[in-house]
């Protein structure tokens, strides 16, 4: 009973994180009007680190991770944060929030696929069908790149952002078996922030555009950095530690739903029939591929 209650709390927490991350796509899109992508990523992650490091020092003091966990923490920093944030900021700047949200919706499906290869889980017919449906949905949105502010390059970068996050999630699962999610989150953010600051220093001569320090952009920046990124990552890593990467990824099915309609509501992006069709295909694909549906029909074997 106690385990069930704990899991219900984790489930509720992951649903909340998914809502935050769906809206975060829209926030980052808005912020690219005030900060270049290669400056926005280090700014956001540095602010997140400023919150996480004092928390870990207050809660656990200086904790040196065992050598067995160092490689995995570096993997989290490299894939889930450094590469993910660069491709995410760049991709969102070059495509629409609608396309970005739909492509990020492939996360659960790709997590299942990688788990099949890297963790030797069975590669079922349902997973194959899920892959086909999911990528058909992505093909629908990228085929309409002439509409709105989307672009093929931007969509490709969003796909890269999805892949890097999935790979990083596997490192999160491995590292949190040895040390706490708080330590993994804080230390990986610190390493990634250093890398992003160095990259931004050399690659982005301009770090802000006019209006960047007005109250609204600053408020959005702080909320995106401290709540969506820092606390969202901590809560997500707690979920991965408790129920695993593949199961946690199921909750990301809600990201495209939140992101697509938040983009229409807050940014005024126009939705076409291809977006609704892609949304249905992606959700159906990830549901089949991760086993949410299909078990009763006997197609999961």
Q: What is the pLDDT of residues 146-191, one digit of tens each?
A: 455 668 888 899 999 999 999 998 898 889 888 889 999 999 999 9
Q: Please indicate, yes or no, if residue 297 is contained in any of the structural domains.
A: no
pTM: 0.79
pLDDT of 148 reads 52
Q: For the segment 37-56, what is each residue's pLDDT rounded down to a tens digit? A: 999 999 999 999 999 999 88
Q: At which residue do the structure tokens 């020092």 appear?
A: 57
Dig out the tokens for 114 from the structure: 């990688």
Q: Give every CB contact of residue 4 below 8 A, 6+ residues apart in sequence.
A: none
Please tell me the predicted confidence (pLDDT) of residue 299. 44
Geometric angle at alpha carbon 47, from 169 and 209, rounded to 5°: 110
Q: Are 245 and 80 in contact (CB under 8 A)?
A: no
Nearest to 85 by CA among 194, 163, 161: 161
* Domain that includes residue 264, residue range: 2-289
Domain count, the chain: 1
- Structure-block tokens of residue 5: 């209650």
295 occurs within a structural domain: no
**Is 123 inside any structural domain?**
yes
Q: Specify whether the CB–CB gap between 243 and 10 falls below 8 A.
A: yes
Please state at what angle helix 125-142 crosses helix 273-289, rounded to 10 degrees: 160
Residues present in the chain in total: 301
Q: Which of 3-17, 23-37, 184-198 has the lowest mean pLDDT?
A: 3-17
What is the SS3 string spanning 208-262?
Answer: CCCCCCCHHHHHHHHHHHHHHHHHHHHHHHHHHHHHCHHHHHHHHHHHHHHHHHH
Q: Which residue has the tokens 């956001």?
A: 44
In a domain, 299, yes or no: no
47 domain-assigned = yes
Is there a domain that residue 298 lies in?
no
Give the burial string for 23-57 (b: 16+ CB within 10 Å, else e).
bbbbbbbbbbebbbbbbbbbbbbbbbbebbeeebe
Task: Name which of 114, 116, 136 is nearest 124 in CA terms.
Answer: 116
């Amino acid at each position: 009973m106690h385990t069930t209650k704990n899991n219900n709390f984790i489930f509720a927490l992951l649903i909340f994180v998914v809502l935050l991350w769906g809206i975060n796509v829209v926030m980052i899109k808005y912020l690219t009007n005030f900060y270049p992508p290669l400056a926005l990523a280090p700014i956001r992650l540095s602010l997140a680190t400023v919150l996480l490091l004092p928390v870990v020092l207050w809660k656990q003091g200086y904790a040196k991770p065992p050598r067995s966990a160092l490689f995995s923490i570096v993997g989290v920093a490299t894939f889930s944060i450094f590469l993910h944030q660069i491709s995410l900021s760049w991709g969102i700047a070059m495509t629409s929030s609608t396309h970005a949200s739909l492509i990020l919706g492939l996360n659960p499906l790709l997590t299942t696929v990688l788990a099949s290869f890297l963790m030797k889980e069975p590669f079922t017919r349902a997973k194959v069908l899920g892959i086909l449906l999911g990528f058909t949905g992505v093909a629908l949105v990228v085929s309409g790149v002439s509409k709105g502010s989307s672009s093929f390059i931007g969509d490709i970068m969003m796909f890269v952002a999805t892949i890097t996050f999935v790979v990083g999630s596997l490192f999160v699962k491995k590292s949190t078996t040895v040390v706490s999610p708080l330590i993994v989150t804080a230390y990986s953010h610190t390493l990634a922030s250093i890398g992003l600051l160095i990259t931004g220093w050399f690659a982005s001569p301009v770090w802000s555009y006019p209006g960047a320090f007005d109250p609204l952009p600053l408020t959005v920046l702080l909320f995106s950095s401290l709540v969506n990124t820092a606390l969202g990552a901590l809560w997500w890593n707690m979920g991965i530690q408790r129920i695993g990467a593949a199961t946690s990824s199921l909750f990301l099915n809600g990201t495209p739903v939140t992101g697509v309609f938040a983009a229409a509501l807050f940014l005024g992006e126009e939705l076409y029939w291809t977006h609704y069709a892609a949304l249905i295909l992606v959700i159906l694909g990830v549901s089949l591929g991760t086993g949410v549906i299909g078990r009763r029909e006997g197609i999961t074997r």
